[in-house]
Structure 1
Amino acid sequence: MGTELPDYYFRVRENGAVVFRVDTENRQRRIEMDQIAVVNIRNGEIKPHGDRTLSDEDVAVIRDWMVDRQEVLAERDIDDILRSVDHLNLTTQWAQSRATDDQLESVTDALLLAMHDLRSVLVRRKADRLLKDTKSG
């Protein structure tokens, strides 16, 4: 652990985080974490913990964290999708070269339905983008 701890700690949750103020300036020189808020990234809500009133600095730090966190999550979404493309390619190779008839029988319908659904959404969204581009250009 470094000598300087941050003033705030964000315990990540599914939709945001629990926010703590970090304190090492006490008699015992122990690390104390005081919960100050709960953050919901999806709706942008910051709820102070208990009767607490958040300072302008608290809110600014939390909002900065929310922006950074949304950027990280967006990057992860794209990375996950690109990994899915890799998995589809690996699945294709497996189906062509190694899959037994019984294995194919157990996965074919689910794969075909998922791929049909994905294709439909992608084609519709691409058409929407093309129409938007022709109307604006």
Structure 2
Amino acid sequence: MRDDLPNYFFRVRENGAAVFRVDTENRQRRIEMDQIAAVNIKNGEVKPHGDRTLSDEDMDEIHGWMRERRVTLGKRDMDDIYRTVDHLNLTTHWIQSKAHEDQLEEITDTLLLAMHDLRSVLVRKKADRLMKAKKKAKR
């Protein structure tokens, strides 16, 4: 099993990861993880841990992980949005078929404001995309 372990381990944090170098080639034949860096996925910052100097191999691994992580997070974002659409549809069904008047009274204004805000942003973003496409077409 030890031969199958990767050379690096990324402990995911909210905005990135702590990066560890995995070592199994020691006298005790134990798995050791030595923190070498901290990564901020949002701004791309890589901070060596302590007074370490990161090798080109370290940086290649870190940048590769960051690329993969951004793809993963992007997929999760889209999945969340599709779940939101499903939830909106389920909410509509609940309102239409099951909600009591007191429940509707409690949630109507908040839901209407959230939907109005969402609609406003979607319309503005759609208009921006259409204007960009129109400008490109003129070139």
How is 1:106-117 mapped onto 2 (pairs within 5 angstroms)?
106-117=106-117
In structure 2, the partner of 1:72 is 72
Distance across 2 between alignment mates of 1:11 and 1:17: 5
Equivalent residue for 1:31?
31
- Residue-by-residue CA offset, 1:26-48 (whole Å, 9 max, x unaligned): 11111110000000011110000
Q: What TM-score does the superposition give when structure 2 sets the normalisation length?
A: 0.96
Structure 2, unpaired ranges of 5+: none
* TM-score (normalised: structure 1): 0.97
Partner of 1:81: 81
| Alignment of structure 1 residues 33-112 onto 2, 5 Å | 33-112=33-112
Q: Distance in 2 between matches of 1:127 and 1:3?
A: 55
Does residue 16 in structure 1 map to residue 16 in structure 2?
yes
| Identity fraction in percent | 72
Deviations 1:60-104 (A, max 9, x none): 000000000000001110110000000000000000000111111
Taking the aligned partners of 1:128 and 1:122, their CA distance within structure 2 comes to 10
Tell me which amino acid in the other structure corresponds to 2:70: Q
Q: Which residue type is aligned with residue 114 of structure 1? A: A
Give every structure 1 segment of 4 or more consecutive aligned residues whose post-TM-superposition deviation is greater than 6 Å. none
Q: What does residue 136 of structure 2 align with?
A: 136
Once residues 100 and 2 of structure 1 are traced to their aligned partners in structure 2, the CA distance between those partners, rounded to angstroms, is 59
